[in-house]
Amino acid sequence: MSARSTLRALPTLLRVGTSEAVAYRAEMVVWFLSTTMPFISMALWTAVARYSPVGRYDSQDFVRYFLATFSVRQITGSWVAWQMNYEVRQGTLAMRLLRPISPLWSYAAENLGYMPLRLVMVLPIVLFSVVQLGAGSLPRTAWGWLFFFLALLGGWLITFLANVAIGTLSLYIESSSRLMDVWFALFLVCSGYLYPVELFPPALKGLLDWLPFRYQIGLPVELMTNAHGLGEALSLLARQWAWVSVLLVVSLLSWKRGLKRFAAYGG
């Protein structure tokens, strides 16, 4: 299928994804409730910072940071690796391959189709943060808004493409769910999801700047809460999109090679 035909099909695929999200809205609410770890971190860190700031963070800064973390997590989430593992084991991936569009596009559209429902859940959190903590909960400048949306898109792309790259390994080793679990554990520790990356020791923070995890959650949250000036934000954004490029190449190559090994088995 040509790129032009794929672009024409995307609106329909997005509508299908949104319809699926509405049909499985109870499952969506359960997933929403399972991602409330930032609220627990917020309670712990605000208690620690009640009498003395931690780094540059006082109690209000921690509340602002973890409300932003929760919101960004809803927007940048993806579950394609687990879905691919299931479909390879069951043989239902063959049904996707029969369609006149790459399965990778349909996976992406299904993920993005959930976005309207996610935004409905996120907007009250963002409004609460702005009302309670002031305008610092959102970017203050035009370039800040532009960089924030680019970082949000880059964060979702890194998450999605990492899911594709690891999910594709199920075509080689039958199941890559455990590898995805390891990636997810590293994501929890290294991304800024449980605590801000800048609170790590300098040497470890320097290492995290070169790993992809920070750019899934940490960078969009930092740009949303005005943590960086223009020069530093530009440098971090360049590293994020370098990771997007690397993961795009890796995921496409592994997908094309993996399909040659696919055999629809299972019942």
DSSP output for 31-91 = HHHTT-HHHHHHHHHHHHTTSS-BTTB-HHHHHHHHHHHHHHHHHH---HHHHHHHHHHHT
Tell me how crowded residue 192 is: count the other CB atoms within 10 A of its CB.
26
Q: Confirm if 136 and 221 have CB atoms less than 8 A apart.
A: no
- Distance of alpha carbon 226 from alpha carbon 42, whole angstroms: 18
Cα 220 → chain centroid: 10
Tokens at 190, concatenated: 């290294």
Q: What is residue 156's three-state secondary structure?
A: helix
- pLDDT recorded at residue 264: 63
Return the structure tokens found at 31.
């997933």
Q: List, for residues 197-240, the tens digit of each pLDDT value.
A: 999 998 888 999 999 999 999 999 999 999 999 999 999 999 99
If DSSP codes are grouped into helix, strand and coil, which group holds residue 210? coil
Q: What is the structure's pLDDT at 2?
A: 65
pLDDT score at 164: 94
Q: pLDDT tens, 111-120?
A: 888 888 889 8
How many whole angstroms separate alpha carbon 188 and alpha carbon 130?
Answer: 26
The pLDDT of residue 210: 92
Burial class (CB in 10 A: 0-12, 13-18, 19+), 173: exposed
Measured between alpha carbons, how far is 66 from 69 in angstroms, rounded to an integer? 5
pLDDT of residue 29: 79
Which residue type sits at 192? G
- Phi, psi (deg, nearest 5) at residue 172: -100, -40
User: Exposed e or buried b for every residue in 30-45, given b needs 16+ CB within 10 A?
Assistant: eebeeeeebeebbeeb
| Residues of the chain predicted below pLDDT 70 | 1-3, 264-267
Q: What is the per-residue pLDDT for 262?
A: 76
d(CA 163, CA 184): 10
pTM of the entire predicted model: 0.91
* 58 φψ region: left (φ > 0), alpha (ψ -120 to 50), beta (else): beta
pLDDT at 229: 93
